[in-house]
Amino acid sequence: METFLQYAVICPLVMLAGFVDAIAGGGGLISLPGYLLSGLPVHNAIATNKMSSTMGTVLATFKFAKSGFIPWKLSLSCVVCAFAGSSLGANLALLMDAKIFMIFMLIVLPATGLYLTRGNVLVTEKSPYTYKKTVILSMVTALFLGVYDGFYGPGTGTFLLLLLTGIAHLPLKEANGVTKVINSTTNIAALCIFLLHGKVLFPLGIIAGLFGMAGNYLGALYFEKGGARNVKPIILLVLSIFFCKIVYEMYIK
């Protein structure tokens, strides 16, 4: 049974995560630590976070579609790869021992933090490739990050945005639109796996999801006005707190 304190910790962080995720991705770097900081078991935290993040990401996708930022032909080409990758990743996560997962995060968290400090999350736009090359590179990106999203999740939106602009050479607004479609697909696929295994805490997931939807909506509005400032320091702060918590629980407590 979830406690009031857990709701008080998780819901504001999920709302903040939704706001950040709509702007530049990486909302899971805030929301999943929020679930774990509240004391939930690892697999329940991952599954319930997937439910709330799915609700928010789907809303942001509709908002971006309404604004004309989603190239649907390219996006739908990525959906099959993203769905397959996410289903595989979610099954791998369920098979993994919680301690191994924590060790994995000790590697991923500082690596992600270091990566984010090396430059602007929203990289400079590059000369476009041919449509065929863009589709192939986007589909490969969707497959590999789909596996990552189903397996772990946090930072997927940021990594998608960086790779779609940096490798597939998509313009920033189109890259963010494709990112939202892929992220929605991987979230739904992984959530289905977690639901089948009974890992989702429904009341908490639904209420936190409503907070996430509010954050995503506000973030999408902010993105339309051209803002991605102040996102990186928030992510880095949460990463640092989460990293210290894991070290404390594994080696000091």
Which pTM value belongs to this model?
Answer: 0.74
pLDDT of residue 75: 94
Q: What is the DSSP letter of 250?
A: I
- The distance of Cα 94 from the centroid of its chain, to the nearest Å, equals 18
SS3 string of 135-163?
HHHHHHHHHHHHHHHHHCCCCHHHHHHHH
CA angle 67, 16, 151 (to 5 degrees): 90
CB 191 within 8 A of CB 51: yes
- The distance of Cα 60 from the centroid of its chain, to the nearest Å, equals 12
Residue-range definition of the domain harbouring residue 184: 4-252
| Total structural domains within the chain | 1
The pair of structure tokens assigned to 182 is: 């892929």
pLDDT of residue 122: 47
Cα–Cα distance, 132 to 178 (Å, whole number): 16
What's the distance, Cα to Cα, between the start and end of the chain in Å? Answer: 24
CB 164 within 8 A of CB 138: yes
Cα–Cα distance, 74 to 180 (Å, whole number): 12
The pair of structure tokens assigned to 63 is: 């908002």
Positions in the chain short of pLDDT 50: 121-123
pLDDT of residue 64: 86
pLDDT of residue 138: 95
Cα–Cα distance, 129 to 126 (Å, whole number): 9
Cα–Cα distance, 168 to 74 (Å, whole number): 11
Cα–Cα distance, 113 to 240 (Å, whole number): 8
91 by Cβ neighbours in 10 Å (0-12 / 13-18 / 19+) ranks as middle
Cα–Cα distance, 19 to 63 (Å, whole number): 13
CB 127 within 8 A of CB 169: yes
Residue 28's CB: how many other CB atoms inside 10 A? 27
Q: Which residues, other chains included, contact 62 with Cβ-Cβ below 8 Å and sequence gap of 6+?
A: none
